[in-house]
Amino acid sequence: MKITWFGHSAFRVEIADAVILIDPFLSGNPTFEGDLTDASLGCTHVLLTHGHDDHVGDAAMICDSTGAQLVGSFEVCMWLSGQGAANINPGNHGGTVDCGPFTVSLVNALHSSSTIKDGRPVYLGNPLGLVVKAPGEPVLYHMGDTEIFGDMALIDEIHRPEIGIVPIGDRFTMGARTAAMACRRYFHFRHVIPAHYATFPLLDQSAEAFVREMGEDGAKVLVPERGRPITL
């Protein structure tokens, strides 16, 4: 499994027979320094945790240009189906979506999900966490945007994720202390990749506090450079 962080919560995940983009907030992302065409090259699937603009990002454009399948909540998929995402594969909490080379199990996240149209919020379902499973690959859990919650223990018991992509930026998600508490108390991750930080001034600007809060598990934390793939 090859994972590339593009800043914020945007990731490219490459496995056998699939190139997955998760929450592809690229062209509007002030920390994304790459090229949208290069970042989405060969994309087969786009996975969305929720409907906020800083997560939906370029999803419709990428699906339109590549033919990639869009996976997310029913509401998000229907919203984007009229904007270029013709190939949709929706689901909801508790369900597992078959994507061919892999599956995505949709789990809880404590957040919100909407966009703004004509100055008014548009409801886009409930936010999700995404558990990606593929034969021969480590189980990947992208938490999306979330607060800590006790039922994370059930996600670990049911899915046994080995790689956790964890929001740490505070204000809109967990901060360093609660993100580290979630990882250490509820999960048995082999690797933890922090996300949703250093994008905007309102967010924490580094992962240093999170690594400190992880204590003896700090060695599990991988802080990739934006645009530089890591292989796990």
Q: Are strands 96-98 and 88-91 parallel, antiparallel or unpaired?
A: unpaired
2-222 belongs to CATH 3.90.1150.10:
no
Which are the contacts of 24, defined by CB distance < 8 A and separation ≥ 6?
A: 6, 10, 39, 40, 46, 57, 58, 59, 62
Q: How far is CA 29 from CA 83, 197, 226, 232, in A?
A: 20, 12, 12, 26
In the block, which residue shows the tokens 């995404």? Answer: 130
Phi and psi for 176 in degrees, rounded to 5?
-55, -45
Tell me the pLDDT tens digit for each residue of 191-201.
Answer: 999 999 999 99
Yes or no: say if 60 and 43 are a contact pair by the CB < 8 Å rule. no
Predicted confidence at residue 82, as pLDDT, reads: 86
Q: Which residues of the chain have pLDDT under 50?
A: none
Predicted confidence at residue 232, as pLDDT, reads: 95
Residue ranges of domains in the chain:
2-222
Question: What would the two tokens of residue 95 be?
Answer: 């369900």
Cα 21 versus chain centre, distance:
9
CA distance 160 to 170: 25
Yes or no: say if 130 and 108 are a contact pair by the CB < 8 Å rule. no
What pTM does this model have?
0.98
Q: Is 81 helix (H, G, I), strand (E, B) or coil?
A: helix
| DSSP notation for 167-188 | E--SSSS--HHHHHHHHHHH--
Predicted confidence at residue 188, as pLDDT, reads: 98
Question: What would the two tokens of residue 35 be?
Answer: 């090229």
Phi and psi for 92 in degrees, rounded to 5?
-155, 175
